[in-house]
Structure 1
Amino acid sequence: MKLGHKLTLALLCVLALVLGLCTLWTQDRQWERALQDARSAALADWQREADALQQGLLPDDQYSNYNEELYSRAWRHLMQPGAPRAALAVYGQDGTLLASSMPVTLAQDELARAVPGDADLQLLTAVAADGTRYFLCSGLVLLPEECVTLVSAQSLDGLFADRALRLRDAALTQVAALAVAALLTLLFCRRMVRPLEQLEAASRRIAAGAYDRRTALPGSDEIAGLSRSFDAMAAAVQEKVNDLQRHLQARDAFVAAFTHELKTPMTSMLGYADLLRGAEVPAATRRKAADFIYHESKRLEALSGRLMELMQLEHETPPALEPVRLDAVFRQLERALPVGAPMPVFADCRTVVLAQRELLCDLLYNLLQNARRATPAGGTVAVEVQEEADRVTLTVRDTGCGIPAGDLPHVTEPFYMVDKSRARDQGGSGMGLALCARIAELHGTRLELESRPGAGTRVHLTLQKAKEDGHETA
C-alpha cells in the first residue's frame, strides 16, 4: 500500500472515530432532552386529566348514594365524547378498578405497579405485550368523601420512532461526510506525498547511474529539508563516483604506461639475448648487446624501485612533522648528488621548517636531478629560499630547456615524460615528479611549476615555519 493511501486510511479512521463519538454524544443529549420533554408532557397531561376527573366525579342530584355510584360516574366521565385525551384508569381507595380506557395489551400488573401507596405523584415506564412503551403517570385525586387514583398512559412509540429516524439521518450524514472527506483527504495526501515521490524517483535514477539527478524542492518544511539533504548526498555520491572514475582512468593509464615502459626494453633485450645465445657474433656486437642489456636492466631496476616507493607513499599516512634546519638538508644534498655539471647553488639559510627530513631530502633530490638533466653544462641550477611570517617557500630554479605549457599539467603523472627519448637516454623513468608531488601532499602542500620553453623552469614548494623553540642540530 502506498504512503498516500496509508495516510488517507489513517485520517479516515480517526475522522470516523471522532465523528462517531460526537454523533453518539449528540444523539444521547437529544434523547435525554426528548425524554425530559416527554416526562413533562406526561405530568402536564395527568394534571389536566386529574382536574377534569375531579370535576366529573363530584356528586349530583341523580345519585342518592355517592359511594355506590362512584363507578358509574367514573365510567361516564371516561366515555363522554371528546375524552379522554390519553389512556386512563381510575382506581378506588381500596384499589378497585372503577373505570379504564387503557390498551388491552398493557398488563394489569403493570398498572397495579403504578398505583401509589401514598399521595406522591410518580412516573414509571411500562412495556405492553405488543412491545409498545408507555409512560405511566399516577397520583391521587381528592374527592369530597374519598380519594381515587388516576393512572394515565402516554405512548412512547413516536419518541422512539423519532430517535430511530435521527440515528438513521445521522448515520447517512456521517457516511456521506466520510465519503467526501475520503476524496478530499486522498487528494490532499497525494499532494503532500508528491515531493516524496519525486525523491523516490530521483533515488531510482541515481541507483540506475544518473548521478547528476537532483530534486531541488522549494520550501522550508521537513520535506524541503530532506530534499536539500538528499541533493547534498547525491552530490557527494556523484563526487565519489567521479573520483573513482578518475582513479580508474589514472590506474588504466598507469598500467598502460607501465606496460609500455616494460615492453619496449624487454623486446630489445630479448632480441639481443637471442642474438647472443644463437650463432657466434663479433666481439664488438656482443659487447654492444651486453651493454644494452645491462643498461636497460639497470633502468628497469630503478623503475621498479621508484614504483615501489610511489606505491608505498600512496598508502602512507601523513608523517609527524618535526623541526628541520634547511642548511642541514642542503649539506646532505650536496653530499648525495652525483658529481657533474651543472652543480646546484644553495641559498645560505638556517631557517627551521616543519617537515620529515628524509622525505624532504628525497623531494629536493629529485627536483635537482630533473633540473640538472634539463640544463646544459653552462647553465645554472639553484635552490632559493623566501621567508614570510609563518612560512617558507623553497624554489628550485634552472635555466634549462623548459617545459611546454601543454605538458605542465601532466608532468606530475606517473611515467609522463616531455621528451621520452632524451629522458630514457639520461636514465629517467617519469616517476620523479610523481614522487615529489606525493611527498608535497604528505607535508600538507603542493608543487607549483612555472616554465617556458628555452627559458628554464621554476618549482615552488611552501612549508610551515617551525616555532621559535623548535630546533634541530646540524
Structure 2
Amino acid sequence: MKFSLKLLLWTMIVMAAAFGFSGFYFVNYVFERALDREAGQALDESSILKFAFETAALNVPAKYDVLQEDTTRQIASNLEAGGQDTGRMLRISDDQKQVLYAADGFTADDGLLLALDENTKTYRVIRLDDSYYIQTAARVEALDKRLYLETMRDVTEVFHDRATGFVVYRRVTVVILLLGTVLMHFISSWLTRPIRLLTRATKRMAAGDYDYRARLVSDDELGQLTADFNRMANALEDNIIKLEEEIRAREDFVGAFAHELKTPVTAIIGYADMLRSHRLDEEKSFMCANYIYTEGRRLETMSLRLLDIIVTKRQEIELQMVSAESLFFYLYDMYAAKKNMDFHFTYDEGMIRCDASLIKSVLINLLDNACKASEPGSRIDVDGYAVSEGYRFSVKDHGVGIPEEEVYKITKAFYMVDKSRSRSRNGAGLGLALCEEILLLHHSRLEIESEPGKGSCFSFILPWEDGGPAAWRSGGEGGGEV
C-alpha cells in the first residue's frame, strides 16, 4: 500500500472517530439539557398541583372533617381539566397506594412511590409503547388524609429530536468525510510528492543513469532527505567515475606493460636464436650478446620500477625532519662526478619534513630524465628554496622539451615522449609515475613546464607543517651552492 494511501486512510479514520465522538457528545448534551429542562418543568408543575390540591382540600366546608373520596376525585378531575392542553396526566393514590383517581392513559406502575421519602418529591423517565414520559410523585397532606399525587408529562418530542439530531449529524459527517477524502487525497499526494520524486530518482540511478538527481520541492524533513540523497548520489557518482577511471587505467597499464614487454622479449628471443642457430664471428656475437644484455637490463629496470610503484602505493611513510643541505650534497655526490653534464645546485638551508629516501628517489628520477632529455655537456639546474606554501624543489634542463599536448600524459606508467631516445638510454617510462605516487604520499604533486626545443622544468613543493614558513629555518639560515 502506498504511503499516500495510508496517510489518507489514517486521516479519514481519525476524522471519522473525532466527528463521531464529538457529534454524539454534542447531540447527547443538547438532549440531556432539554430533558433536564422538561424534568424541571414537570417538578414545578407537580409542586403547583400539590399546592392547588391542598388549597382546594382546605376549602371543603367545615362540616366535613374528613376528605371524602368523591371530593378527592372531584378535585383531581378539576386539576386534570386544567392541564389537558399541556398533555399532562394526573393520578391520585391513598396512603395504601390504592388509586383514587387516574386520568385516561395513565398506565405507569407505582414503582416511583416506593422511592419517595418523607418531605421529598421525585421523578423518573419511563417508556410506554413508543412514547416517553416524565413521571413525578409528591406527598400531599389534605385534612386527615395522606395522599400521593403523580403526574405524567409526554417528552417523546425530546427523544425524537435526539434521534433526528443523530441522523442529521451522521449525514453531515458523511458529507464532510467525503469532501475531506477528496481534499486529503490531493493533500497527501502533495505531501508525498518528494517521496515519489525520490523513488523515481532511485529507479533511474538503479538503471544506470547516475547523472539523474531528485528535484528538491520542499524545505522540510523530506526536502532535507532529498538533499541528502542528492549529496549521496554525487558522492556515489564520483566514486563510480573514480572506479571506472581506475579500471581504465589498469587496463591501459596492462596493455602498455604487455606492449613494453613484447619489444625487448622479441629482441632477446631473436638475437638468442641467431646465436644458437648460426656460427657468427666475434663482432656479431658480441653485438647480439650486447643487444640481449641491453634489453635484459631494460626489463630489469622496468620490473624494479614497477615494484617500487606497487610498494609505494601500499606504503605508510614516516615523516622526519631532514636538512635540505644533506639532500643536495647527496645529489651532488651522485651526479657531479659521474654524469657528463653541467650541474648547478643552488639551495636555501633549512629543515624539511619528509621521507628522505623517497624524496631522494624523486630527485634522482627527475635528474635521470633531465640527463636523458639533454645532450652531453648541457646545463642542468637543481634548485631548492622556501616559498609561502612550503619548500620548492625544481630540476630544469635545456634539452628537447615536451610538446604541450603531451605534458599531462608523461606521469602515466610506460608513457615516453621519445621512445627511441628513452630505450636507447634504458628508459622504461615509469620514473615519473613513481615520482607522482611518492609526492601524493607527501600531499604534493609534480608541476611541469616545458617548451619543445628549449627544455623542461620539473618542480614540486613539500608543504609546511603547523609551524608555517618559519619551521624550515629551525636548522639554520642562509643558503648554498655546489
Relative to the length of structure 1, the TM-score reads 0.88
Q: Which moved more, 1:19-28 or 1:297-306?
A: 19-28
Q: Which moved more, 1:352-361 or 1:398-407?
A: 352-361
Q: Which residue of 2 aligns with 1:91?
A: 93
Superposed, 1:158-197 pairs within 5 Å as: 158-197=157-196
**2:393 and 2:460 in contact (8 A); partners too:** yes
* Distance apart, 1:428 and its partner CA: 0.4
Matched letter for residue 419 of structure 1:
D
- How many aligned residue pairs are there? 467
Q: Which residue of 2 aligns with 1:361?
A: 360
Report % sequence identity. 29
Change in CA separation of 1:94 and 1:424 when aligned onto 2, cut-off 3 Å = closer
Distance in 2 between the 1:149 and 1:31 partners? 30
* Distance apart, 1:227 and its partner CA: 2.2
Q: Report whether the alignment pairs 1:326 with 2:328.
A: no
**1:78 and 1:101 in contact (8 A); partners too:** no
Per-residue deviation, residues 92-127 of structure 1 (Å, max 9, x unmatched): 3554321112536533x436537x463433223445
Q: Report whether the alignment pairs 1:4 with 2:4.
A: yes
* Distance apart, 1:321 and its partner CA: 2.0
Change in CA separation of 1:389 and 1:120 when aligned onto 2, cut-off 3 Å = closer
Q: Which residue of 2 aligns with 1:69?
A: 70
* Distance apart, 1:420 and its partner CA: 0.6
* Distance apart, 1:375 and its partner CA: 1.1
Per-residue deviation, residues 359-414 of structure 1 (Å, max 9, x unmatched): 11111111111111111123111212333467322221111111111111111111
Q: Report whether the alignment pairs 1:22 with 2:27.
A: no
Distance in 2 between the 1:280 and 1:165 partners? 127
Change in CA separation of 1:82 and 1:388 when aligned onto 2, cut-off 3 Å = closer
Change in CA separation of 1:30 and 1:470 when aligned onto 2, cut-off 3 Å = farther
Change in CA separation of 1:394 and 1:444 when aligned onto 2, cut-off 3 Å = same
* Distance apart, 1:333 and its partner CA: 2.1
Change in CA separation of 1:143 and 1:438 when aligned onto 2, cut-off 3 Å = same
Superposed, 1:421-460 pairs within 5 Å as: 421-460=420-459
**2:8 and 2:181 in contact (8 A); partners too:** yes
* Distance apart, 1:131 and its partner CA: 6.8
Secondary structure of 1:247's partner? helix
Change in CA separation of 1:45 and 1:359 when aligned onto 2, cut-off 3 Å = same
* Distance apart, 1:68 and its partner CA: 5.6
* Distance apart, 1:191 and its partner CA: 0.1
Secondary structure of 2:404's partner? coil
Q: Report whether the alignment pairs 1:381 with 2:383.
A: no
Matched letter for residue 26 of structure 1:
F
For the aligned residues, what is the CA RMSD? 3.0
For structure 2, the 5+ residue unaligned runs are: 477-482
Distance in 2 between the 1:101 and 1:399 partners? 137
Distance in 2 between the 1:111 and 1:307 partners? 113
Matched letter for residue 415 of structure 1:
F
Q: Which residue of 2 aligns with 1:371?
A: 370
Q: Which residue of 1 aligns with 2:312?
A: 313
Distance in 2 between the 1:124 and 1:292 partners? 128
Change in CA separation of 1:243 and 1:390 when aligned onto 2, cut-off 3 Å = closer
Distance in 2 between the 1:390 and 1:54 partners? 118
Q: Which residue of 2 aligns with 1:227?
A: 226
**2:42 and 2:153 in contact (8 A); partners too:** yes
**2:267 and 2:295 in contact (8 A); partners too:** no
**1:74 and 1:90 in contact (8 A); partners too:** no
Q: Which residue of 1 aligns with 2:479?
A: none
* Distance apart, 1:27 and its partner CA: 2.7
Distance in 2 between the 1:227 and 1:373 partners? 56
**1:122 and 1:138 in contact (8 A); partners too:** yes
Secondary structure of 1:138's partner? strand
Distance in 1 between the 2:385 and 2:25 partners? 90
Relative to the length of structure 2, the TM-score reads 0.87
Q: Which residue of 1 aligns with 2:254?
A: 255
Distance in 1 between the 2:383 and 2:364 partners? 14
Distance in 2 between the 1:340 and 1:17 partners? 96
For structure 1, the 5+ residue unaligned runs are: none
Distance in 2 between the 1:328 and 1:72 partners? 140
